[in-house]
Structure 1
Amino acid sequence: MDVWKNPLLVPCFFLCFSFQTNLSLGGDTISGNQTLSGNRTIVSAGGNFVLGFFKPGNSSRSNHYLGIWYGEKVSVQTEVWVANRNDPISDPSSAELKLLDGNLVLLNESRVIIWSTNLNSTVSNSTIAVMNDTGNFVLRDASNESKILWQSFDHPTHTWLPGGKLGRNKKTHVTQLMTSWKNSEDPAEGLFSLEEDPNGTSQYFILRNRTKSFWTSGPWNGQIFSLEPEMRTTYAYNFSYVSNDDESYFTYSVYDPTIFSRFIMDTSGQIKQLTWLPNSKEWNLFWSQPRQQCEVYALCGAFGVCSENSLPFCNCLYGFEVKSQSEWELNDYSSGCKRKTLLRCENNASSNGAEDKFWAFFSAGLPDNSLEMSLESDAACKSACLNNCSCNAYAYSGGNCSIWTEDLLNLRQAADGEGTGSTIYIRLAASELLSKSNGKKTVIGVVVGSVGVILLLGLGFLVIWRRRRSVVSAKAVKGSLMAFLYKDLQIVTKNFSEKLGGGGFGSVFKGTLPDSTVIAVKKLESISQGEKQFRTEVSTIGTIQHVNLVRLRGFCSEGTKKVLVYDYMPNGSLDTHLFHGKEVLGWKTRFQIALGIARGLAYLHEKCRDCIIHCDIKPENILLDADFCPKVADFGLAKLVGRDFSRVLTTMRGTRGYLAPEWISGVAITAKADVYSFGMMLFELISGRRNSKQSEDGKIRFFPTWAASKLDAGEDILSILDSKLERNADVEEVMKICRVACWCIQDDEIHRPTMGQVVQILEGLLEVNAPPIPRSLQVYVDTPEDIIFFTESSTSQSSKVQSNVSTPSQAKSTTSASAKP
């Protein structure tokens, strides 16, 4: 019978569907006989997390998985937990997640259990499963919220959320570890994992195949992991390590619960910390280890080569080709490379009897698993490899012969000018390399070689002429940028042999132009901007001329080779004088350095056509010329802001310990972010030490808190001064700089001065009032001198004034006067 022909039956028809046990969207609980299948989901009470079936990435496969992902507050689909990561489902509409005998079980389309909580529960008739706002999916007693029978936090996959644990149960030996996805479209267990040392120490390792360690946190010292000093200066997170008779684990929390933050074990082999930026609607990379991609062990698989100077990072050795192109396109390089042509002993017919040959490869380090032997010569070592059909490569040095009979793993391209590295000879079929010439070919070779020599000599004269021409042009057009040839820069830096220093964006080398001008040449590494963007940024920075900004002389942009050429600063960077005992700077010099830096930043913020936010002010980025005049340097992170805009959205950048609180909250930043970093640096200029320092008793001393407390209490201000100065300083100047520093690091940016106001204060044109102690510094234990740095999230102090400086006459009559510079 057709129900639609009888109106009285229509309500009954829909009433029948109302008795379905599948969940409706929005509920956060599975109980009784309810099941989850198809496109049904459960959502945590606050909407933070969703549990349901999903299809990863842009996969064309029909594989589906039961997992947890962020709710609508995060607009990018981001999975944080997967139940059946190694057992996909082809038809989620026929699969079911339900309660069975006190357990949560997942049945596939064939009604076979492929995942279960595996509990021997005694409360099987009263269990419910709840999706919490923390991202923790729990199975508990319906009548007792505290009686947790099972929780997803105890079984992390590739993501570690706030409140979760990474560790091990000492009695059951069950571990909580993170394991990477295989690739972006396959959540199956990948190669890389982060886990606690199984030998019982408190350090954590990143492992490949859970066997080969290539990064460690160092042991826990009571405050931080010894090899992760950046933990000292994080002010958005509270980290803790717990160890007792039952278990040991590492956990963390976020001070501001509105911030979505997560750690992941990435398919790249790096552990990454990411924070969601709601305004720009993207995940921002806040921290990662290992820092260099090629430090990940065997990232590129067998016979693959990793290079920091190329994208993608992985390529195949000469004579080899990608084994699985589809996997490489998903950034999964684990399958590695295969030979294009078989070796002679593998396929004698195709070799025509020709002996295999060797191709020299300069590697940053030799692979593991070599067979070692003592031989008299390179020729003997080469012969030992040729006589072994399993030999893939050899290396010879000082009587020691190494041959490799297994797959070559962890090959890394040595960079130009890199001081360390070894030559390894890769065995190839003869057809892959040119044969030696003989007979008539030899005669032809001599003729061709002679012509080649003549051409090379001509080319050499041409290079010298162009070098001279470029130098003449640079002199003739003084102040304009020079476009250098990479080969020229190799010559003037002696192939990048004299390294001056380095940072996150590259290394700096000393060079000398033909006219004896000394330069500093910075080779940029791991940069992703295109040619047009690079040249636009260079030309913008190149037009800036100020006595307190380092001068950019020119640049080189040849493919992936991006180089910047600066004036050389003979006294190096500020950090070498403050922290590394190079030369003690007197107080007058320090005061002038502070004033010079302030003038340089004020110029960037207020005098350029576009406001330029430096984004990474710290002692390492302040260079000193022959007269100790400071030069703000390293604009690799700088952000341009048009004058029509007061703020700019950007991904988080800079250095921990100098980052303003607004970076963490994800709001658009202003030039006040530089003001905060400048304030933090002023404290280090005063004390001659890092702001965070571990004392002999293991506690972390945070200098700004101590200095602010001394200032607030009106105590002897010279007691905070660098002990190497022996109190030899102007009290009023120390007081002034300390007050400025405290104003600069106020939690709310509207309470910080502009850099123009800072300049006027240091020049004596404005007086500065006594500052409040920022909330982020108001944490004390035992005594004011015994301070451990924990900080709460930034909150607006609406009772404070918007300006914190006053003219001398105003300062006498008010403590909250507003002043314009």
Structure 2
Amino acid sequence: MAVVLLQRVAGTALSLLVLLLGVNPPFLTRAHPSHVISDSISLGRPLSGNQTIVSRGSRFELGFFTPGNSHYYIGIWYKNIPVQTVIWVANREAPLSSAESSELKLSHDGNLILVNPSKNLVWSSNATSLKSNSTIAILLDTGNLVLKKSHVSQALLWQSFDHPTDTWVPGQRVGVNKITGEYQVLTSWKNSRDPAPGLFTRRLAPRGSGNYISLWNGSVEYDHTGEWNGHSFEFLPQTTLNQNFKFSFVETRERKYINCTMSNTSTLLRLVLDFTGQLKGFTWLNDSQKWMLIWSRPAAQCDVYSICGAFGVCDQKSVPLCSCLRGFDPEFSGGWGLGDWSGGCVRRSALQCADNSSSVTSRQAPDVFSVIPDVKLPTDSQSLLAAGAEECKLACSHDCGCSAYSYHGSTCLTWNGQLLNLRQLSSGADGPVGTLHLRLAASEQQEYSHTDKSKILSLAITGSILGFLILSSITLLAIKSRCSSAMGETVEGSLTLFNYSELQQITNKFSTLLGRGGFGSVFAGMLPDSAPVAVKKLQGLRQGEKQFRAEVMTLGKVQHANLVRLRGFCAEGDKRLLVYDYMPRGSLDSHLFNGEAPCLDWRTRYEVALGTARALAYLHEQCRERIIHCDIKPENILLDDSYHPKVADFGMAKLVARDLSRVLTTMRGTIGYLAPEWITGLPITPKADVYSFGMVLFELVSGRRNTMMVGDGGAAASYFPLLAALEINGGGDVLRLLDHRLWGDADVKELTRACMAACWCVQEDESCRPTMGEVVRILEGVLVAGRLPPIPRSLQYLVESGDGSLSENR
């Protein structure tokens, strides 16, 4: 009680300070101030800048916010959770360039209005039934912003619940006002950073009882709940599975709406029409401090109509889900990086018949058709009479507006203009699976040439082989057995010795380069059993064949779930090659630092950190012969199909040169990960890997290279590891360190552990650094650091030699 009383006194004193001085105290300049003025806005007391109002029970907060797109909006979000979760936006169609001079206030006619720095009207509550110019805007504990005559008045003159954005919360009536005919409609955001109205809406169906439908572009229905049967929605039984909340459909003389009663009012529940078109139900978990998805409609993302936009195809088994058809590229690549594929794809090359009047196009070769098998055909087709597939093709060819055709079972279908709602299916999938013939410019034929001829040739060859198998099966099996044993020789355990000609065959003469590094180049290959592999051609080796074989045999025995498996090698003449499992997701750097790649969520990043730490702990502490990696960096952390980390290039330092002198030479390009002892010439121990791992941890947190400057200050204010060390040392908010693309969506405990571990790992004195085994236990939450890590001397030097602007740029 004493604490609460002190808080109230402090809040009152703060309010008086603001009223008397007309200024905000310094601690109110943060985006989410911990001190608030009240739960309401009254005439003559506008809201601007970083000021907010908070509901009486401190459940919701209203103020200016920015979702990361450099614009500002008035929104309502949950107050007491670490992840800013916005449930309502006022000016979603009219963003502000600045919050400092913009104002949310009551106008003289009683409406709530938002004006920009030029004092131009940006948004208004537009309540037309106001009979008094003396009103007050109050934020309730339900998350509802209401206009009333006074605090005690029961009559609502206007409420935000009647004008939802993308979110429904308990107590909100989403349905229809039968008197006015006004529907409450959920409308998705455009993407994760833009609250502007997106393509998807969720509303009560005009007819029926309790059937809520999802629409694409306001016209195409792609999902519905089914009718309310008195207990649940027909196609949404998930709403009855949780005892904490009970849904019902209510119909009165004035309204029809969905209702929800909570058995525990402290439970947070929200339904969101995601920008991907799915309606998602979330509940807040206090233990893990994150939102948990409890159900979604449609269950499969690809069931959302035209989720990939025009000329995009959705594949539920692919990551990302959407890709462009052959001959097409994303129209807005930036949107695709944010998971917004609605912009679709555009042609790389114009069609020959696009402009018959052009003398240039008239000299182009005729358009061609690319075969796309096993797809759910697009919508809006036209049916034509055709005697066969060739006649169907000719009908499309002679119509410049025809984009594609399909012929099956005497039915000819053609599509004009854009192709929407394409979905990739497997050949044995349920439902209509068809083959689409897509019209492309002849120039695209270089990449996908002679498709039909290839099919005919493939059939002929297959028939010949089958015939040969029937006539010579016994002989062929014997030959196949001898050939299989000849493709590599198992020398020890599962390690295979290849000759150079076999690796040329496997890699198609080293035609597909995957990457280059300090130890050589890596090429893609395919084993006879269709297993994909990565073949590394080593460069600069000093060892003889016998010594090389001995070292490789040692590495072949090193196996761990988070290490890339060595499958074989080649030691022929002066050629030295290693064969590894192929990692389909590539290296970590391509996901962290490539703006075009989908952003890794925090859960994936933390699992990558933990898996990498476990791999290094195994190399340092559990191998019969200790292995120091010497080159830990994102480029050497690969990801398998499920984004599990696999450390690559372990043991390369010893393999290339026993005295490690070559290792230092090869790693000058990645100086940002080198421990100080590399530079000072001290002996290299496993603690050098610990330092490098700490630098990688910083990059997993920030999503950017450590060498990239942040802020506008000098070196001290611009080096991220230093900023992280200062934030941890000062007990600051670790969420400020998180990659802005994650929008604060991270487990705060895990984030704190990662930052704390990273700060200990990069200590200048190696004796102060933990072992990798200790790092694993810190990340697992088993081991807790006893004290705050000191700022390393090398980083402290930046502070002492900086320009004094550090405190302003943190």
TM-score (norm 1): 0.52
Equivalent residue for 2:88? Answer: 81
Among 396, 402, 406, the residue aligned to 1:395: 406
Q: Give, in angstroms, the shift of residue 109 of structure 1.
A: 2.0
| Distance in 1, Cα, partners of 2:255 & 2:238 | 26
Q: Give, in angstroms, the shift of residue 142 of structure 1.
A: 0.8
Equivalent residue for 1:51? Answer: 62
Aligned residues: 475
1:135 is matched by which residue type in structure 2? G
| Distance in 2, Cα, partners of 1:201 & 1:371 | 35
Q: Give, in angstroms, the shift of residue 230 of structure 1.
A: 2.7
Larger displacement relative to structure 2 (22-31 or 146-155): 22-31
- Match status 1:97 vs 2:108: no
Secondary structure at the aligned position of 1:272 is classed as strand
| Distance in 1, Cα, partners of 2:409 & 2:642 | 34
2:238–2:295 Cα contact (<8 Å) kept: no
| Distance in 1, Cα, partners of 2:142 & 2:528 | 52
1:173 is matched by which residue type in structure 2? G
- Match status 1:25 vs 2:36: yes
| Distance in 2, Cα, partners of 1:388 & 1:460 | 52
Equivalent runs, 1:165-564 vs 2, <5 Å: 165-346=173-354, 349=360, 352-415=363-426, 417-420=428-431, 421-434=433-446, 560=641
Once the two structures are superposed, residues 582-611 of structure 1 have per-residue CA deviations (whole angstroms, 9 ceiling, x without a partner) of xxxxxxxxxxxxxxxxxxxxxxxxxxxxxx
Secondary structure at the aligned position of 2:334 is classed as helix
| Distance in 2, Cα, partners of 1:191 & 1:419 | 28
| Distance in 1, Cα, partners of 2:383 & 2:254 | 45
2:393–2:405 Cα contact (<8 Å) kept: yes
| Distance in 2, Cα, partners of 1:103 & 1:394 | 56
Secondary structure at the aligned position of 1:231 is classed as helix
| Distance in 2, Cα, partners of 1:42 & 1:216 | 37
Q: Give, in angstroms, the shift of residue 108 of structure 1.
A: 1.7
| Distance in 1, Cα, partners of 2:528 & 2:222 | 34
| Distance in 1, Cα, partners of 2:327 & 2:529 | 28
Among 171, 186, 204, the residue aligned to 1:163: 171
Once the two structures are superposed, residues 279-303 of structure 1 have per-residue CA deviations (whole angstroms, 9 ceiling, x without a partner) of 2221111111111110111000000
Secondary structure at the aligned position of 2:248 is classed as strand
1:53–1:67 Cα contact (<8 Å) kept: yes
1:322–1:337 Cα contact (<8 Å) kept: yes
Q: Give, in angstroms, the shift of residue 467 of structure 1.
A: 10
Q: Give, in angstroms, the shift of residue 114 of structure 1.
A: 2.0
Secondary structure at the aligned position of 2:323 is classed as strand
2:324–2:330 Cα contact (<8 Å) kept: yes
2:167–2:271 Cα contact (<8 Å) kept: yes
Cα 1:218–1:466, aligned 2, differ >3 Å: closer, same or farther? farther
1:54–1:65 Cα contact (<8 Å) kept: yes
2:374–2:425 Cα contact (<8 Å) kept: yes
2:445 is matched by which residue type in structure 1? L
Cα 1:142–1:468, aligned 2, differ >3 Å: closer, same or farther? farther
| Distance in 2, Cα, partners of 1:288 & 1:154 | 24
Unaligned runs of 5+ in 2: 1-15, 29-34, 470-474, 495-525, 532-600, 615-637, 644-748, 751-810
- Match status 1:115 vs 2:150: no
Percent identical residues: 40
Secondary structure at the aligned position of 1:18 is classed as helix
1:382–1:394 Cα contact (<8 Å) kept: yes
1:235 is matched by which residue type in structure 2? Q
1:343–1:351 Cα contact (<8 Å) kept: no
TM-score (norm 2): 0.53
| Distance in 2, Cα, partners of 1:115 & 1:53 | 13
1:351–1:429 Cα contact (<8 Å) kept: no
Secondary structure at the aligned position of 2:266 is classed as coil
| Distance in 2, Cα, partners of 1:365 & 1:252 | 38
2:208–2:227 Cα contact (<8 Å) kept: no
Secondary structure at the aligned position of 2:307 is classed as coil
| Distance in 2, Cα, partners of 1:168 & 1:141 | 25
Once the two structures are superposed, residues 73-128 of structure 1 have per-residue CA deviations (whole angstroms, 9 ceiling, x without a partner) of 21011111000100111122221111122211111222122221222355524421
Q: Give, in angstroms, the shift of residue 396 of structure 1.
A: 0.6
| Distance in 1, Cα, partners of 2:271 & 2:65 | 21
Cα 1:29–1:143, aligned 2, differ >3 Å: closer, same or farther? closer
| Distance in 1, Cα, partners of 2:476 & 2:427 | 22
1:147 is matched by which residue type in structure 2? A
| Distance in 2, Cα, partners of 1:141 & 1:426 | 63
1:431 is matched by which residue type in structure 2? S
Cα 1:194–1:460, aligned 2, differ >3 Å: closer, same or farther? farther
1:327–1:333 Cα contact (<8 Å) kept: yes
What is the root-mean-square deviation in Å for CA atoms of aligned residues? Answer: 4.3
Equivalent residue for 1:647? Answer: none
1:486–1:558 Cα contact (<8 Å) kept: no
Cα 1:88–1:531, aligned 2, differ >3 Å: closer, same or farther? closer
1:85 is matched by which residue type in structure 2? R
1:393 is matched by which residue type in structure 2? A
2:436 is matched by which residue type in structure 1? I
Q: Give, in angstroms, the shift of residue 254 of structure 1.
A: 2.3
Q: Give, in angstroms, the shift of residue 231 of structure 1.
A: 2.9
1:216–1:227 Cα contact (<8 Å) kept: yes
Once the two structures are superposed, residues 724-763 of structure 1 have per-residue CA deviations (whole angstroms, 9 ceiling, x without a partner) of xxxxxxxxxxxxxxxxxxxxxxxxxxxxxxxxxxxxxxxx
| Distance in 2, Cα, partners of 1:284 & 1:463 | 53
Among 9, 27, 51, the residue aligned to 1:40: 51
| Distance in 1, Cα, partners of 2:155 & 2:20 | 32
1:54–1:64 Cα contact (<8 Å) kept: yes
Equivalent runs, 1:519-668 vs 2, <5 Å: 560=641
Cα 1:467–1:34, aligned 2, differ >3 Å: closer, same or farther? farther
Following TM superposition, the consecutive aligned residue runs of length 4 or more in structure 1 with deviations greater than 3 angstroms are 14-17, 19-24, 120-123, 350-353, 434-437, 456-469, 484-489, 527-537, 557-562
1:351–1:430 Cα contact (<8 Å) kept: no
| Distance in 2, Cα, partners of 1:37 & 1:117 | 17
Q: Give, in angstroms, the shift of residue 486 of structure 1.
A: 12
